[in-house]
Chain A
Amino acid sequence: MSPTQQSSTKWCRNPLSGVGLGLRTPHYEFVEQHQPDIPWFEVLIDNYLVDGGEPIQHLTRVRENYPITFHGVGMSLGSTDPLNMDYLKSLRDMIERFEPAQVSDHLAWVSTQQTYMHELLPLPFTEEAIKHVSNRIQQVQDFLGQRILVENVSSYMQFRDSDCSEWDFLNEIVQRADCNLLLDINNIYVSAENHQFNAQDYLDAIPVSRVREMHLAGYEDRGTYLLDSHSRPVHQPVWELYKQALQRVGPAPTLIEWDQNIPDFNVLLEEAGHADAIARDILDKPDEQFTNHTAADIVSRI
């Protein structure tokens, strides 16, 4: 049976909305047995590009009851190596098979000279990088036959060669590549603290019509810098920034990320509940909704 044939109409087809959670190995059993009231799950797709076995079987069961998104690190969109077509073919097969609501990767490079570092390395904010990355995103989108989302990363270094701000860099790339944006609120906060810029300036410059998802996570304070560890509850300043992002962007599916020291599922549910309560509070206030949107922004989001 081909991958396409396997993806019959049995998949849950709810539209993506609300606060989702990452599907992580320690929670497979809980999710399958209890089917918690979560609107969608994010799948770290690089962990599922295997030939068979447990991960695929769990993903299949979860997919029957929930919408999913694919989130990856392996596209290496910023790399100067050629695109890894084997990786993209595997990804395309999985997209055909599981029909994720959206597919995302990072505005970063993870490989060079055919060496993979499995780490999201930032780019210099230069015209050369804008051209290079935009072109690669377009190639990926052409190959996959769909728009992808690119995520802003946390960073711990800033290149001397950069000649614009991160938000200008991001804006230019999403426009030129005609891709969508996964806005990671924690990453904005972490980078703002590490590089001493104003997170509000970042948010103010975001092309809201391109935002299709937001991420929230907990960072770790290493003394000399903040580390985007995904190992803690969301910190208060990040919740505050999330409120501001909601006011600017409006409703967008939001994910609670937790990838290290993974707690009981109930802890994640509490975090998701908190994010949901914030979103309802902000978005139920018509005066504060879409305050910075133009009519064109709103129309393009529909």
Chain B
Amino acid sequence: MNNLQTIQQQILSAVYDETALATAGELVHATETLDAPSHIAIYRDSIRLGLAHALREIYPVCARLLGDAYFTQVCEQYIQEHPSHSPDLNRYGLAFPEFASKLSLANDLPWLPDVLRLERSWHKVFSGNDTTKFDLECLAELTEEQSLYACIVLQENMQLIDSVWPIDNIWHANRDFSKEPETLDLSELPDEKVCLMIWRDGLDMHLDLLTTEMGCLLQSLRDGDSLQTAYELLDQQYPTAEFSDLFGQIAANKWIAAVLLD
């Protein structure tokens, strides 16, 4: 008699290794309609379909861009190399962009990994923490000295990403499944990187195209720089940028979660 652990291990093997189906088949009865390995294959197929479905839910635009058959093929490869290690299917597929960037298709579609990163960010923000309320009066109450070394804590549930490709345009052109996708000319790269902020206000999801100056400031704040350091960095890289305008936008968008004075 096989113990429970052995049975479970053999079935797991059959899910990820087709050649192990026959061995696992010895664990179960055949029926009039199906041989023993086919009974296990029902589970194998269902498990793999479920994981592919989860990837399709998180990366719908890329699924559309690649087409059903090709996306399924890429999913199959990913599933084979990346079993799920969490009971939460929401967390499955978070390494998919990095995985895709190593495939040969990334040579033909070099923008694809960045669009995948955008979709992953969207997914994370959608189910991430709700916005922390912050009283802007706290900023007004800072002394001049405090405002030099104060650190701004940005909302946790915001995703800042950049790309040399116009991934925001690609995403917008393909996300409405009731319409035909728009055709984009990707033969020429934008003059500068696109910098995007994905965030949520209540239930409203936002994808904002940021200026590079704003991207620089947000990155600096996210890195934990003090306000003074962030100001100097911005001034150094973008001498014409207006720090106060940019910081005002950050405050108006409720992107500030807290101010640290330590």
Contact = CB atoms under 8 A, between A and B. Distances in A.
A49 B73 CA distance: 30
B88 interface: yes
Contacts of B87: 46, 73-74, 76, 84, 87, 110-111, 116, 118
B15 interface: yes
A219 B8 CA distance: 26
Give the size range of A's interface with the partner: 35 or more
A182 B128 CA distance: 32
B127 A50 contact: yes
B43 A156 contact: yes
Given A54-B126, A110-B87, A118-B84, A157 B39 contact: yes
Interface string A153-175: 00011111100000000000000
Contact of B1 (A49, A79, A80, A161): A161
A157 B51 CA distance: 21
B127 A159 contact: no
A65 interface: no
Contacts of B1: 126, 161
B11 A128 contact: no
Interface in B83-115: 83-90
A52 B130 contact: yes
Contact of A121 (B26, B43, B54): B43
B29 A53 contact: no
Contacts, number: 129
Given A80-B4, A80-B5, A124-B4, A117 B127 contact: no
A51 B129 contact: yes
B12 A113 contact: yes
Interface residues of B, number: 45
Contacts of B36: 157
A118 B84 CA distance: 8
A50 B126 CA distance: 10
Given A159-B7, A159-B27, A46 B88 contact: yes
A196 B90 CA distance: 37
Given A87-B87, A118-B84, A160 B29 contact: yes
A89 interface: no
Interface string B1-23: 11111011101100100000000
A224 interface: yes
Nearest to A50: B127
B31 A194 contact: yes
B121 interface: no
Contacts of A159: 7, 27-29
Given A116-B87, A159-B7, 6 more contacts: A50-B88, A80-B8, A84-B87, A121-B8, A126-B1, A158-B39
Q: Which 4 A-B pairs have the closest CB atoms?
A: A74-B87, A52-B130, A157-B39, A112-B8
13 contacts: A46-B88, A51-B128, A53-B127, A57-B203, A115-B12, A124-B2, A132-B4, A156-B42, A159-B29, A160-B28, A161-B7, A161-B27, A227-B42
Interface of B: 1-5, 7-9, 11-12, 15, 26-29, 31, 33-34, 36, 38-40, 42-43, 46-47, 50-51, 54, 83-90, 126-130, 157, 200, 203
